[in-house]
A and B are shown apart, each in its own frame.
Chain A
């Protein structure tokens, strides 16, 4: 009996420890949504008042894995409408159509969607940041120790899932330069970018409400865009 009691005393702290372990949080899909922005600190945003928003979205997919076929266009209108409304709410004026082939606005808003399976995300994200023209106006990829992971949360399907990123780029049209026959002198000054990033899971209604929330957030966290 005494030995048993002694053993229990000895094991008690260990059992408490094991009981309290569960070191990882469980996250819901919504809790993995992110709103990320970056901007050109040298840009005076007061000078920019009007925007042009094309009615199409550029889709960036991993061709090698035929993801292009799976691109979901369901939310295209919603995304564009949210971007437009947020800019209008911030006091910007929309320029509807290019005149004589020229975009007569201070900025052009380019919306693209990057969609890829999580298992390729780690590599693809790096590639994406490499070819994306950050180095023209931005310091570039944030680098170590910021890197994508495979979230080990138990709430997700074990078969994997798709990560989507809506990228909203603001191009300063006054500074754009595209000289003919000279690829090295192309200037496409992106003065602000907003990223909405999340796991593509859930109903269309759920995705739509998450998109609304996160698109609003990228503008909300950019007070310098207020006109």
Chain B
């Protein structure tokens, strides 16, 4: 049911929300490769990710916007012994890392003849990260809001006068907060934009 609601809402958006003057709305599928502190906890490539973005074009080759994303990494570790405080524990661990970045971003486009428009961009903001380890009927959990930055390179394909196809490579980095480790991961974005 939930999925039909999401599809219905998005369908409505495509028909009703013709982006405002100079604005484009993007939605990207976002598989990701965990790195650094993220990979220390969950080191498997994640097919579970998405982001939504609104870009407002200040002129032909510069835009500013807002991006919200969600990526879930998970990993199952069987039969490994680990230590927690003064306990030695052996069991199957089900680990999850959820990261939800919220950033303001700016993009510079390199206009050329043809339908392909390469760009570079950077986003700065915050991200909510949660690490959860489920072991037996127990759970270890920690979460934090972190300072987040995300440089990216990408390419838009001018599909028609109302839409783009989009491909991008985005590096996400959240700064260590207290005892919560820094998070980093590399995302491949495949999506579409509505002008």
Contact = CB atoms under 8 A, between A and B. Distances in A.
B138 A146 contact: yes
A142 B10 contact: no
Interface residues of A, number: 48
A35 B48 contact: no
A94 to B, nearest CB: 25
A222 B88 CA distance: 9
A17 B87 CA distance: 38
A177 interface: no
Contact of B190 (A7, A13, A151): A13
Interface string B27-42: 1111000000000000
A219 B142 CA distance: 30
Contacts of A15: 7
A149 interface: yes
Given A10-B14, A23-B96, A35 B91 contact: yes
B137 A14 contact: no
A21 interface: yes
A17 B192 contact: no
Contacts of A32: 91-92, 136-137
Contacts of B138: 34, 146-149
Dominant SS among interface residues on chain A: mixed
Contacts of A21: 48
B90 to A, nearest CB: 4
A161 B117 CA distance: 58
B23 interface: no
A186 interface: no
A36 interface: yes
A19 to B, nearest CB: 9
Dominant SS among interface residues on chain B: strand
A150 to B, nearest CB: 8
Most chain A beta-carbon neighbours within 10 Å: one of B30, B136, B142:
B136
A223 B72 CA distance: 37
Interface string B159-191: 110110100000000000000000000000011
B78 interface: yes
Contact of A146 (B74, B84, B90): B84
B136 A14 contact: no
Nearest to B189: A13
B137 A163 contact: yes
B51 to A, nearest CB: 9
Contact of B78 (A14, A31, A146): A31
A14 B48 contact: no
Contacts of A148: 137-139
Contacts of B74: 23, 25
Contacts of A36: 87-90
A148 B139 CA distance: 6
Given A9-B165, A10-B27, A13-B29, A34 B89 contact: yes
Contacts of A118: 137
B140 interface: yes
A78 interface: no
Nearest to A198: B136
A20 B46 CA distance: 9
Interface in B87-104: 87-92, 94, 96
Interface of B: 3, 6-7, 10-11, 14-15, 27-30, 47-50, 72, 74, 76, 78, 81, 84-92, 94, 96, 134-142, 159-160, 162-163, 165, 190-192, 194
